[in-house]
Amino acid sequence: MRDYARWCPYEEGHRNFPEEMQMHINQDDYNHYWEKGWVAIEGVYNPDEVERIAQIAIEVSDRDMTRSMDPDAATDKGVGYAVDRAEDGTIAPRKIEGPFLKAPAFQSFVLDPRLSLIIKDLIGVEPALVTDQIFMKPPHFGSAKPYHQDNYYFKCDPADHVITAWIAMDDVDESNGCLRYIEGSHKGPVLPHETPDPDEPYNLVPPPELINLSKEALAEVKKGGVVFHHCKTLHTSHRNESDRWRRGYATHWASAQTTCEIDTIKNGYFQRDDFPGTN
Ligand X SMILES: O=C(O)CCC(=O)C(=O)O
Binding-site ranges for ligand X (CB under 6 A): 135, 145, 150, 164, 166, 235, 237, 248, 250
Of 21 and 101, nearer to ligand X (C-beta) is 101
Of 8 and 171, nearer to ligand X (C-beta) is 171
Distance CA 229, CA 207 (A): 21
Burial 235-256 (b: 16+ CB within 10 A, else e): bbbbbbebebbbbbbbbbbbbe
Cα separation values, 181 from 3, 92, 236, 238, 256, Å? 31, 26, 7, 12, 27
Query: How many helices and strands, by DSSP H and E, does the chain display?
Result: 7, 14
Q: Please report how close the Cβ of residue 3 comes to ligand X at its closest, in angstroms.
A: 30
Q: Please report how close the Cβ of residue 71 comes to ligand X at its closest, in angstroms.
A: 27
Q: Please report how close the Cβ of residue 274 comes to ligand X at its closest, in angstroms.
A: 25
Of 148 and 187, nearer to ligand X (C-beta) is 148
Q: Please report how close the Cβ of residue 256 comes to ligand X at its closest, in angstroms.
A: 21
Of 65 and 169, nearer to ligand X (C-beta) is 169
Q: Please report how close the Cβ of residue 259 comes to ligand X at its closest, in angstroms.
A: 21
Of 23 and 210, nearer to ligand X (C-beta) is 210
Alpha-carbon Rg for the chain, nearest whole angstrom, is 18
Q: Do 147 and 234 form a contact (C-beta atoms < 8 A)?
A: yes
